Structure 1
Amino acid sequence: MIILIGNQKGGVGKSTFTLLLANYLTQLRYCKVTVLDLDPQQSIVQQYQKAKLLENKEPYEVRSASLEDFPTLLPALHLNPEELTLIDLPGRLDEDGLIPVVSSADLVLCPFCYDEFSFGSTVLFSVVLQKINPELELAYIPNRMMANLSDDTLQEVDRQLGKFGLVTYGLPDWIDFQWVNTLHTPEIVLPLVRRVMDQLFTRYLSFLLEDLSAGELNDD
């Protein structure tokens, strides 16, 4: 299964969310995960390399790639249907080579913020994705939520994005999220993270565990 994490609006925390999701899936759901970093900034790859320098055992593999590389990588991504591939997308819709990536995806997770510019960019991002791949599942993760958001803004943004897909529980704007890396999610944010990830897992991914259990029973 190929899961894209992206938004064309920078600063919404998509790379941090990718790490949170990878940590959750491997450490709490015991899934096999590979992260493919297609963002030119390569922030996830940098985190991964730092962890390797400290000689820690990585719970999942992180690979660096470009959009141009993706068509040659795609056959390998489909070899093991039980493995989840998380792809951190570039932040621009006009990047050459985006169409094959979106066309191959099963699910897009879109972190966003409750400001006007982020909302407009998220809607445009969603429209373009659905034109490329009409069967694509979309889910939206409110991120870096400020305490002074009005209920009217929350409800209207959620209503509009709800036309495209699921809007999950939100993640607050806490400095502790800056300490997320390829090995660790801070204990203080875990309850909030689990709430969001459990919601996504139940909606989109729980069938994977059912398939795995059925396969193990058949092997026995």
Structure 2
Amino acid sequence: MKNEPLFIAFSTQKGGVGKSTFTVLVASYLHYLKGLNVAVMDCDYPQCSVYEMRKREVRQLETNLHYQSKAIALFDSLGKQTYPIVCAKPEEGIIKAREFLANEPTDYNVVFFDLPGTINNDGVIATFMAMNYVFVPMAPSRMSMESTLSFIIPANELIAEHSDLNLKAIHLFWNRVDGRIKKEWLEHYEEVIRQFGLPLLKTAIPQSVRYDKEQSIEGSDAVFLSTIFPADKTLLKGSNLDLLVDDILEVLHLTPKL
């Protein structure tokens, strides 16, 4: 009998804060570096940016011998291929995920859901509440804070009131923290978060262009953001992605296989 995978989402009401980026980065990290089996439900319909990213990367592999050989070596060492990405309407995300899992021989540990940036209808809200855990990237600015808290506080109150919900916890984490931001500002924001009883992960992600670094079309550049490769070790240093993944694994009570 298969194990029941965890349903996880990176979700936020503030656009451009990194939900799709972290869906890809953490899924790839867990699948390729931690030995876990993951799948992605791309419910950011109709653009399905994660699904389209995979298609784009596969096309690039067809003409780039460097990435071809790198992929072959990676999959041979792991004994498995890329993780699956399924495009679905947000209100159908759970049904499509269940159908996918029922027809798969693989025993999955985690299914990531990339949800729309705006949760503005009952179907999307139902999918959001069907997650086991939600992680919310948040920029240290007043606009991002207000948008995030107006979205998260009611959901967190529902969790506190209804112990029978699938959604067990919502965890915030800092993203795009500029080194010039004053420490007292972060401390002020964190005090506000504590007052609302919202959990905040220990790791903060710095502002860095590496988080947008995909594989090149013709070159052999190191890759950070990819559905086919894990973040390159040379780019991991100082990114705090490895620390974020450790925080998330601790929340999920998951043990890496590698």
> So what's the TM-score if we normalise by structure 1?
0.84
Q: In 2, distance between residues paired with 1:150 and 1:64?
A: 41
Alignment of 1:57-136 (within 5 A): 59-76=82-99, 82-134=108-160, 135=163, 136=168
Q: In 2, distance between residues paired with 1:67 and 1:145?
A: 30
How many aligned positions are there? 209
Answer with 12-21 or 126-135: which moved more: 126-135
Which letter does structure 2 place at the counterpart of 1:76?
E
Q: In 1, distance between residues paired with 2:159 and 2:98?
A: 19
Aligned twin of 1:216: none
Contact between 1:5 and 1:87, CA under 8 Å: does it hold in 2? yes
Residues 123-150 of structure 1: per-residue CA shift (max 9 Å, x gap): 1121232355445311122111111111
Q: In 2, distance between residues paired with 1:71 and 1:24?
A: 23
| Deviation of the 1:77 alpha carbon | 6.5
| Deviation of the 1:82 alpha carbon | 4.5
Aligned twin of 2:251: 203
| Deviation of the 1:71 alpha carbon | 4.5
- Does residue 155 (structure 1) correspond to residue 187 (structure 2)? The answer is yes
Contact between 2:172 and 2:198, CA under 8 Å: does it hold in 1? no
Residues 44-84 of structure 1: per-residue CA shift (max 9 Å, x gap): 11111112222566521111111232253253377587431
Aligned twin of 2:226: 181
Contact between 1:161 and 1:167, CA under 8 Å: does it hold in 2? no
Answer with 159-168 or 129-138: which moved more: 129-138
Answer with 3-12 or 124-133: which moved more: 124-133
Aligned twin of 1:23: 28
- Does residue 48 (structure 1) correspond to residue 54 (structure 2)? The answer is yes
Aligned twin of 1:190: 236
Q: In 2, distance between residues paired with 1:82 and 1:46?
A: 22
Contact between 2:201 and 2:247, CA under 8 Å: does it hold in 1? no
Task: Name the SS for the 2:236 alignment partner.
Answer: helix
Q: Which has the higher helix share?
A: 1
> So what's the TM-score if we normalise by structure 2?
0.73
Cα distance change, pair 81–160 in 1 and its aligned pair in 2 (3 A): farther
Pick the structure with greater CA Rg.
2
**Percent identical:** 23
- Does residue 169 (structure 1) correspond to residue 215 (structure 2)? The answer is no
- Say what the alpha-carbon RMSD is for the aligned residues: 2.3
Structure 1: gaps of 5 or more residues:
213-220
Aligned twin of 1:6: 11
